[in-house]
Every structure is written in C-alpha cells, then in structure tokens.
Amino acid sequence: MRSQKSGPGRAKPFEELLRGVPDAEITGDPRVEVCGLAYDSRKVVPGGLFVAVTGEKADGHDFLLEARERGAKAFLLETGRAQGITPPDGGAIAVIPDTRAAMAPVARAFYGDPAARLVLAGVTGTNGKSTTALIIDEIFRGAGIASGVIGTIEYRIGERKLKAPHTTPEAIDLHALFAEMLVEGVTHAAMEVSSHALSLHRVDGCPFEAAVFTNLTPEHLDFHQDMAAYLVAKQALFEDPQFLPASGRRANAINLDDEAGEEIAARALGDTLTYGFSPAAHCRADDVRLSATGTQFTVHHPVGRVPVRMKLVGHFNVYNALGAMTACIGLGLDAEVACAALERMEPVRGRFERVPARTRNVLVDYAHSPDGLQRALEAARAVATGRVTVVFGCGGDRDRTKRPVMGELGSRLADGCVITSDNPRSEKPEAIIDEILAGIPQDRRGKCSVEVDRATAIRKAIEEAGKDDLVLIAGKGHENYQIFADRTIDFDDRAVAAAVIRELEGDGDA
C-alpha cells in the first residue's frame, strides 16, 4: 500500500501543512516544500516530512537520524524532545506539544482534505463493526454507488483490496486512502471507527455523513482502563462537532437495545434513527427465523415494512443488518435496495463463517471478547441440532480480566470446550490458559479439555463431533497468522479446519 508516500498528494510548503496545528515553533525554512508524509522512518521519502510519534513500543524521536538519512527535509517533534537538533540544509523543524494529534490536520492539508469530498459512513461499537460496515458497502454498491471499505478484514478502494494492518488506520494512512479513493472514482466509504482511533486522533476532522453505534461491552480495558472511559471514547463520534459534515446534518443509527444506546441517542448531534427489537425503535425487526444457512426477518421502518432474507447466520447478524439498513435509510437510500443487497451478500470472512463440509458442522468466528463469545455461542446453539463444542483461547498482552470470564461463559454455554492458544504474543500460552481455567467452576471442568497447540485443538474438536453436532472455532476469525513471543507463523482457522474435514470425509491424503 502506498499510503505513507505522497500518493495523490502534491508537494506543499511546510507552513501550509501546519495551519491547522496551533502553537508550532518552527526552526529553519517554513516554506520548504514537503512531498510526502511518514511517521515510520523506514517509509520516509526524499523531501518528505517525518512526524516523530511516541508509541507504546517505540518512540519516533529515536529514529530522527534514520529519517534524515532517508532524505526527510521537515520534522515534527514534541516539546522537550528537540534539544540540540538542527534542521537539515534548507529544511525545517516544528515543535509542538502532541505530534500524534497533529497528524490528522497535517494529512488533511497535504492531501487536500479528501474526507470532505467523500460520503463517509462510520461504524463504532464493541462488536459487529466489520460486518455492519461491509453491509453498508454492499448497500451502496447495490444502489449503483462507487464505494470503498476501511476495516479490520480489509481496506478496499472500489474493487482493489489492500492489507488492513489496523481496524482504523493512522491519520496519515487514512487520508492517503481517501485521496486514492477519489482518484479512482469512489464517492462513498464505509469504515470501522475504533475506540483507539477516536482516542488517538486518527479520525480527527473526518466529517461522517452517517454514524452507527452497535453496542458497548467490556473490551480494550487494558487501553481505556474502565468502561466509563471506553464509553466516552465511543460517544465522541456522535457528540464532538468536529465529526459533523459542513452541512451540520448527519444520519445516526443507534442500537436502542444496548444499555448505552439510549444515552448516546439523547446526546447525538445530527438526525437520529434508532434500531433494534424494542417497539420504541425507529427501525425494528420481528418474525426472526434462524437456520444454519441463513436468516429471515421483517423490518419495520419509518415509511413501511419489508421482508429480509439473508445468508448471514445468527441473531447478532440481525442487529448488524438493522444497523446498516438504518444508516442507509437515514442517508436517503431505499429500503428495498437495502434488502436486495442483503439477499446478495455472502457470509463475511471469519464472522460466523461455515467451513464447507458434507458431514460436519464447523463455524469460524472472530469472537474474542466475553460478549462476542456469548453471542457466538448463543447463535450456534440456536442453529445446532446436536451438541455444541467451542475451541477458544485469549490473546496475550491484552486485557487479562476477560480470561476467566470467557472461561466461565464457554463452559456454561457450550456442551464441550477445548481451551487452546490464540495469539499468545509475549506471554506463555500455558499461563494464559490457566487464567481462562480459573473462571471455570469445578463442576464444569469435566467437559473442558486443554490443548495448547491450536491446530491440534481444532482437530480434536472436529474429530470428536457427531454428525448433528456443531463446532465453533472462536477468537481469530479472518486472521491468517498466529503471533508468538519469538515468531509469527501462518495460521488460518478456516484452512486448518478444512484440511481436517477433507481428511475425515475422505477427500484428502489420509
């Protein structure tokens, strides 16, 4: 991806890029032409601007020499970190209190504020962001709109797919993507807006024509510390005027069934439509019929009612569909167009996705939080005709408080559990598993087993399942890697499960 280079941007004077950055103290030539932006010294282009950002694992100020050697002509540094540093010949240094907060206005200026020329639909919440954003995109495309997607599963510009390193990219990458979308004729974009992105200024100044709130459950508390701070981060998308379009109008779609939904709806700027199963919701669903191959329900919306039939499975996908439809109706799109898009939409990669099989029922889902695991297991139970077995673990270097909670949920909601590794990162897999097991009551320990190796755990669950049973492999979803302390390996739950199934069904090398 070209997002850290100049891309569709053009060289601009450094002082012009700093107009939206207050209190910048400039040393050197403020008129030096900047032809690219980077916050990673390895991506600096000759004549570019290097923004030194202090992160969790690295400090950009430690890489100034490398950036300079690669040809950076301008630098953005934090107060107190520029002592003894002089600008390159003909270049400049600007010192400000917070370089991370400056990336968004600098990127907007460099790329000509591309976000203001797109219709942006942002989706925030703990669960359902990826699927909801992809449904919005499908509805856009069904309406004949050239659209793009930015989210956990992929970034896409029209039909061109890019790797997605973050749910919501850093501001420099984000505006580069927006600029490329405009060049390629894209007019609308559906994107996930994570709480990290809101807290870390990645989306500052982006005008959202539509904003969706899915739900709020405990997650990312290692970053936000508590639920109150987590809620404040999500609320910003709806309450902060910087996210409103110039018209002052926005179509909000807010889940009224979620505990935080009513509060967010009451304080949201713009025009709000609520959704859910509550009779008070503007867009509500009833007559829900679930199966292992799809879902049917009826949507009652402000101007009528419409039947929906979709391939997406699970009660939680009714919420995702409702959120997307409500946002698009708020944008003025026809409900019939939305329903037609839902009928066409294929299951989302790694989101309650069925692994092809003749005699086995295996689903892969991204559920990696207590609420996500509970929803996935409840959905599995609703479509299963036999026993439900879940394979799951918890990620290392992440919120440890959810580990015993997920252990309790898995042992209560499934008939059998295989506890295994997720992405252990720098932690020992066995230590993470012990913390999961700590939440499982003694009287349920008999239906739980431990297999540290994830591939072996998946094989064990599938081999032991009967023809009417269902195996849910949770935690990694669309991911095609596994992260350990000393290495990252290729690993895809779907591929591993498919290989086991081929072998058991006689379609592989036995």
Least Cα distance to 256 among 230, 237, 283, 276 occurs for 276
User: Could you tell me if 170 and 50 lie in one domain?
Assistant: no
Structure-derived torsion over alpha carbons of residues 191, 216, 321, 475, reported in degrees to the nearest 10: 80
Backbone angles phi, psi at 124, to 5 degrees: -130, 160
Residues in the chain: 510
Amino acid at 146: A
Which residue, 57, 75, 110, sits at the end of a domain?
110
Contacts of 115 (CB under 8 A, 6+ apart): 108, 175, 178, 205, 206, 207
Q: Examine the fold and report which residue of 91, 110, 129 is the final residue of a domain before the chain moves on.
A: 110
My answer on whether 118 and 104 are in the same domain is no
For residues 424 and 291, which has the higher predicted lDDT (pLDDT)?
424
Q: Do 268 and 167 reside in the same domain of the chain?
A: yes
Residue 8 has pLDDT above 60, yes or no: no
pLDDT above 70: residue 219: no
Q: What domain range includes position 50? A: 12-110
Determine the Cα angle at 7 with ends 5 and 10, to 5°.
Answer: 100
- Number of independent structural domains in the chain: 3
Predicted confidence band at 87 (pLDDT cuts at 50, 70, 90)?
very high
CA angle 39, 44, 48 (to 5 degrees): 95
Question: What is the average per-residue pLDDT within 283-303?
Answer: 94
Average model confidence (pLDDT) across the chain = 93
Residue 323 has pLDDT above 70, yes or no: yes
Residue with more model confidence, 222 or 217: 217
Cα atoms in the Cβ-side hemisphere of radius 13 Å centred on 188:
22
Residue 230 has pLDDT above 90, yes or no: no
User: Are 257 and 334 contained in the same domain?
Assistant: yes
Give the CATH number of the domain where residue 300 resides.
Answer: 3.40.1190.10
Q: Residues 194, 320: one domain? A: yes
Distance, in Å, from the CA atom of 123 to the CA atom of 194, rounded to the nearest integer, reads: 8
Q: Which residue has the tokens 């404040």?
A: 232
85 or 300, greater pLDDT:
300
User: What's the CATH number where 57 sits?
Assistant: 3.40.1390.10
Is residue 7 a part of any domain in this protein? no
Answer yes or no: is 5 within a domain.
Answer: no
CA 475 to chain centre: 14
Confidence of residue 172 (pLDDT cuts 50, 70, 90): very high
Paired tokens of 481 = 């890697």
pLDDT tens, residue by residue, 68-81 = 999 999 999 999 88
Query: 318 and 368: one domain?
Result: no
State the pLDDT confidence band at 222, using cuts at 50, 70 and 90: low
CB 51 within 8 A of CB 99: yes
Is the residue at 222 inside a domain?
yes
Residue 454 lies in a domain: yes
Q: Specify whether 40 is located in the same domain as 152.
A: no
Asked whether residue 146 is domain-assigned, the answer is yes
The pLDDT of residue 225 is 65
Judged against a pLDDT cut of 60, whether residue 161 lies above it is answered with yes
- Pair 157, 290 in one domain: yes
The answer as to whether 1 is a domain residue is no
Residue-wise pLDDT for 88-138, tens only, equals: 999 999 999 999 999 999 999 999 999 999 999 999 999 999 999 999 999
pLDDT value, residue 220: 56
Dump the DSSP string for 231-248: HHHHHHHHH-GGGS-TTS
Please check whether residue 331 lies inside any domain of the structure: yes
Q: Are residues 407 and 482 in the same domain?
A: yes
203 and 302 co-located in one domain: yes
229 pLDDT tier (thresholds 50, 70, 90): confident
Question: What's the pLDDT score for residue 218?
Answer: 67
- Please check whether residues 339 and 361 belong to one and the same domain: no
Q: Using the Cα atoms of residue 369, residue 131, residue 491 and residue 292 in order, give the sign of their dihedral.
A: positive
Average the pLDDT over each of 2-16, 306-320, 401-415, 444-458 and give the range with the smallest value: 2-16
Contacts of 482 (CB under 8 A, 6+ apart): 421, 422, 423, 454, 476, 488, 489, 491
Residues 407-417, mean pLDDT to the nearest whole number:
98
Give the contacts of 213 (CB within 8 A, at least 6 positions apart).
124, 125, 234, 237, 238, 252, 253, 254, 255, 258, 260, 261, 264, 323
The pLDDT assigned to 393 comes to 98
Listed residues 84, 110, 136: the one ending a domain? 110
Backbone dihedral region for residue 291 (phi beyond 0: left; psi -120 to 50: alpha; all else: beta): beta
Does one domain contain both 311 and 398?
no
CATH code: domain of residue 363: 3.90.190.20
Residue 359 within a domain = yes
